[in-house]
């Protein structure tokens, strides 16, 4: 009888903590701590609840695991930073076993072996093996791994090899996050991607301290930084230098005026253009070095959809893969993969990722209990009727919370935990941004049937993870104005009936009614909250967010006309209700 190898990967760092469980090299479940603690990005939280969910989902105990893989080497980072033991205990306690595996939850018994995986190795593993490519050039870019910020490599059946690294003093992630801070768009719990959305409103005409040529990038106009300095000094000094450069050279010559955010539009465009140039140079150089026609990317910088769209168009690869949790939450998956490959060989991994629905799921009994506990009126329907009713609501301009099946992983809503609206009405963008407390200049993404992608979008390839920007065809822009950004771009998700059956059926029904196979889709959460996790979260958000309806499992709840706020069509009546 074949033995079972359970390996649990963790991102246990200061943000985006998560857990991922493999069984004999096959991905079973991924859970993100923020979804359970309800604290966005799970700042300074160990992945305790995420780990507990994964183990309970699979029906295994901590003691049955072959090993636990940690996606960051904090011992190495402490050494590089040059901080003493007292500081380390206060500032970097993330790998303390009692913090990771509290006895009150996991008991005081023997714990499985712990394997430490370098941060960028975990990132690289998370995208290369999930891509399904036989070989690929690999590009990892973020704020920092233990002592590096960008890693270039090559993945094949033999594993992953590094071809070049960039130090933390050359961090693209730090460059972009400090730019977001200068524009008043940064906090530890927010996504720096807001700067990407703002960039479309400006022109790239301002000086920035990043340039690229001949397959490399460098910071220019900044004081030199010695590699002999302690890492803590390098981070602090480089951060200060970037902010000082922006204040001296970039309009409006003042830091953090969030009430005047549009004054930073051309600054954002300039920062974005330089980042794109750097990534394009790196990607092209990796194609020359490796000879591969495939590119796999990870790291927080790989969440930049606009840059990803440029790479798909212009980097010269046949295939580009960016996995949906490319940020630090994804290192849990990569660490588990790397540990399994080390113990059992990469050839035994079966982790190709064609969809993102590997997250938590809850049964119909839990859904009914949540609705009844919060005194929400609802009706139950078989799938065809549910889909028909929801499509009718969206056709009438309603905003619907959509909670179905297993949750998607990563920061994008992909048709499992979504807020949905009519893309034909620009008012939909306004309404969704109001519900979520978002700035009005931020775009809403479209979900489109994969078979209809080419009809609406160009300049990219169908992407299931809403992580690559494309251009909306000019002839179609007036047809779906709610999901067209100011520069004519969008961040579309290609929806396949084979992997997202019910969501595809809903888009298909909306198409049958309207002739438009597209829905406006944003994540199911309110301001400063993570995406909903449990049915109780979904019902509470439906009530607090003034949504028009909630489709949760086979149940449909509709807010009474008199309870609606800002109803786009208060005279409309539902003939079927």
Residue 420, CB-side half-sphere exposure with 13 Å CA sphere:
31
341 and 397 share a domain? no
Structure tokens at 350: 């079966």
Structure confidence at residue 571 (pLDDT): 32
Measure the CA–CA gap between 262 and 457, rounded to whole angstroms: 28
Mean pLDDT of the chain: 94
Structure confidence at residue 560 (pLDDT): 84
341 and 396 share a domain? no
Find the range with the poorest average confidence among 24-28, 241-245, 452-456, 569-573.
569-573
Measure the CA–CA gap between 548 and 393, rounded to whole angstroms: 9
- Give the CA distances from residue 459 to residues 41, 204, 305, 466, in Å, rounded to whole numbers and listed in that order: 32, 21, 13, 14
341 and 443 share a domain? no
How large is the average pLDDT for residues 229-246? 96
Q: Which residues pair with 148 in a beta bridge?
A: 167
Please report whether residue 205 resides in a domain: no
Structure confidence at residue 564 (pLDDT): 57
314 CB-near residues (< 8 Å, 6+ apart)? 280
Strands (DSSP E) found in 107-169: 114-116, 136-141, 148-156, 159-167
Which of 320, 348, 376 represents a domain boundary (last residue)?
348
Strands (DSSP E) found in 455-524: 457-458, 470-472, 489-490, 493-495, 518-523
341 and 416 share a domain? no
CB 251 within 8 A of CB 266: yes
DSSP 262: G
How large is the average pLDDT for residues 54-69? 96
Phi, psi of 148 (to 5 degrees): -135, 165
| Helix residue spans in 64-106 (DSSP H) | 74-81, 85-91, 97-100, 103-106
Measure the CA–CA gap between 542 and 523, rounded to whole angstroms: 13
Please report whether residue 51 resides in a domain: yes
Q: Binning pLDDT at 50, 70 and 90, where does residue 85 land?
A: low
Q: Diameter of the chain by CA atoms?
A: 73
Please report whether residue 284 resides in a domain: no
Share of the chain above pLDDT 70, in %: 96
Structure confidence at residue 563 (pLDDT): 60
More confident residue, 560 or 491: 491
Q: Binning pLDDT at 50, 70 and 90, where does residue 192 land?
A: confident
DSSP per position, 13-56: SSSS-EEEEEETTEEEEEEEHHHHH--GGGTT--SHHHHHHHHH
Look at strands 489-490 and 470-472 and give their pairing. Answer: antiparallel
How large is the average pLDDT for residues 262-277? 98
How large is the average pLDDT for residues 35-57? 97
Please report whether residue 314 resides in a domain: no
Task: With CA atoms as reference, report the closest residue to 226 among 167, 176, 271.
Answer: 167
Could you tell me the CATH number of the domain that includes residue 374? 3.90.870.20
Structure confidence at residue 573 (pLDDT): 31
Task: Please name the residue that has the structure tokens 């001296």.
Answer: 248
491 and 554 share a domain? yes
Query: In a 3-state reduction of DSSP, which class is residue 409?
Result: coil
Strand order in the sheet with 457-458: 457-458, 470-472, 489-490
How large is the average pLDDT for residues 229-234? 94
Measure the CA–CA gap between 219 and 170, rounded to whole angstroms: 7
Please report whether residue 151 resides in a domain: no
Please report whether residue 274 resides in a domain: no
Q: Binning pLDDT at 50, 70 and 90, where does residue 567 land?
A: very low
Go through the chain and tell me how many residues it has: 577
Structure confidence at residue 463 (pLDDT): 96
Could you tell me the CATH number of the domain that includes residue 27? 3.30.420.40
Residue 178, CB-side half-sphere exposure with 13 Å CA sphere:
24
Structure confidence at residue 568 (pLDDT): 38
396 and 464 share a domain? yes
401 and 339 share a domain? no
Measure the CA–CA gap between 315 and 204, rounded to whole angstroms: 21
Query: In a 3-state reduction of DSSP, which class is residue 335?
Result: helix
Task: Classify burial at 562, counting beta carbons within 10 Å of its beta carbon; exposed 0-12, middle 13-18, buried 19 or more.
Answer: exposed
498 and 396 share a domain? yes
DSSP 524: S
DSSP per position, 276-333: HHHHHHHHHHHHHHH--SEEEEESGGGG-HHHHHHHHHHS--SEEEE-TT-SGGGHHH
424 and 387 share a domain? yes
Is pLDDT of 88 > 80? no
Measure the CA–CA gap between 116 and 137, rounded to whole angstroms: 24
How large is the average pLDDT for residues 374-385? 97
Q: What is the rounded (10 degree) CA torsion for 286, 290, 292, 298? A: -50
Please give the tally of structural domains in the chain: 2
- Give the CA distances from residue 55 to residues 20, 84, 260, 337, in Å, rounded to whole numbers and listed in that order: 10, 35, 47, 17
Please report whether residue 144 resides in a domain: no
Q: Binning pLDDT at 50, 70 and 90, where does residue 286 land?
A: very high
339 and 374 share a domain? no
Active site residues: 15
DSSP 325: T
Structure confidence at residue 176 (pLDDT): 98
DSSP 350: B
Domain of 343 in residue numbering reads as 6-120+333-348
Task: With CA atoms as reference, report the closest residue to 182 among 99, 254, 93.
Answer: 254
CB 433 within 8 A of CB 570: no
Please report whether residue 310 resides in a domain: no
Model pTM above 0.75: yes
Which of 316, 348, 380 represents a domain boundary (last residue)?
348
Is pLDDT of 350 > 80? yes
Q: Binning pLDDT at 50, 70 and 90, where does residue 173 land?
A: very high
337 and 425 share a domain? no
Share of the chain above pLDDT 90, in %: 89
CB 283 within 8 A of CB 319: no
How large is the average pLDDT for residues 169-174? 97
Find the range with the poorest average confidence among 36-40, 127-131, 189-193, 335-339.
189-193
339 and 381 share a domain? no
């Amino acid at each position: 009888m074949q033995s079972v190898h359970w390996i649990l990967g963790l991102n246990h760092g200061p943000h985006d903590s998560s857990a991922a469980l493999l069984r004999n090299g096959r991905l079973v479940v991924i859970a993100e701590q923020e979804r359970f603690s309800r604290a966005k990005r799970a700042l300074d939280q160990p992945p305790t609840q995420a780990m507990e969910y994964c183990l309970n989902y699979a029906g295994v105990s901590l003691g049955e695991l072959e090993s636990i893989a940690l996606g960051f080497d904090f011992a190495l980072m402490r050494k590089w930073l040059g901080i003493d033991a007292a500081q380390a205990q206060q500032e970097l306690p993330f790998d303390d076993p009692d913090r990771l595996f509290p006895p009150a939850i996991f008991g005081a018994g023997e714990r499985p072996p712990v394997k430490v995986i370098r941060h960028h190795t975990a990132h690289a593993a998370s995208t290369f093996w999930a891509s399904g490519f036989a070989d690929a050039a690999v590009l990892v870019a973020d704020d920092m791994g233990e002592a590096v910020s960008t890693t270039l490599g090559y993945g094949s059946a033999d594993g992953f090899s590094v071809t070049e690294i960039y130090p933390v003093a050359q961090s693209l992630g730090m460059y972009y996050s400090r730019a977001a801070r200068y524009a008043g768009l940064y906090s530890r719990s927010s996504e720096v991607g807001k700067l990407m959305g703002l960039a479309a409103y400006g022109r790239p005409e301002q000086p920035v301290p990043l340039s690229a040529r001949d397959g490399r990038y460098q910071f220019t106009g900044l004081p030199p930084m010695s590699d002999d300095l302690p890492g803590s000094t390098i981070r602090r000094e480089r951060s200060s230098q970037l902010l000082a450069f922006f204040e001296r050279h970039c309009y409006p010559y003042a830091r953090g005026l969030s009430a005047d955010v549009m004054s930073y539009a051309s600054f954002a465009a300039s920062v974005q253009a330089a980042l794109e140039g750097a990534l394009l140079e790196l990607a092209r150089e990796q194609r020359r070095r490796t000879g591969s026609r495939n590119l796999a990317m990870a790291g927080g910088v790989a969440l930049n959809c606009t840059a990803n769209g440029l790479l798909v168009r212009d980097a010269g690869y046949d295939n580009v893969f960016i996995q949906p949790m490319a940020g630090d939450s994804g290192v849990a998956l990569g660490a588990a993969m790397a540990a399994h490959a080390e113990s059992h060989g990469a050839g035994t991994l079966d982790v190709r990722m064609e969809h993102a629905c590997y997250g938590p799921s809850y049964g119909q009994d839990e859904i009914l209990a949540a609705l009844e506990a919060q005194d929400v009126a609802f009706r139950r329907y078989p799938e065809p009727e549910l889909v028909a009713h929801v499509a009718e609501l969206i056709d009438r301009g309603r905003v619907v919370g959509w909670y179905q099946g297993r949750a998607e992983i990563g920061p994008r809503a992909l048709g499992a935990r979504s807020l949905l609206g009519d893309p034909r009405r620009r008012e939909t963008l306004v309404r969704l941004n109001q519900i979520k407390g978002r700035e009005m200049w931020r775009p809403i993404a479209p979900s489109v049937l994969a078979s209809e992608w080419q009809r609406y979008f160009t300049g990219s390839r169908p992407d299931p993870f809403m992580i690559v920007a494309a251009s909306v065809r000019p002839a179609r822009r007036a047809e779906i104005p709610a999901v067209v950004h100011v520069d004519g771009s969008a961040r579309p998700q290609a929806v396949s009936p084979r992997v997202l059956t019910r969501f595809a059926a809903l888009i298909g029904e909306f198409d049958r009614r309207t002739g438009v196979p597209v829905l406006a889709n944003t994540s199911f959460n309110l301001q400063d909250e993570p995406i909903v996790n449990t049915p109780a979260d979904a019902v509470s958000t439906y009530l607090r967010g003034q949504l028009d309806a909630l489709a949760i499992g086979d149940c449909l709840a509709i807010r009474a006309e008199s309870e609606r706020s800002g109803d786009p069509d208060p005279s409309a009546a539902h003939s079927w209700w």
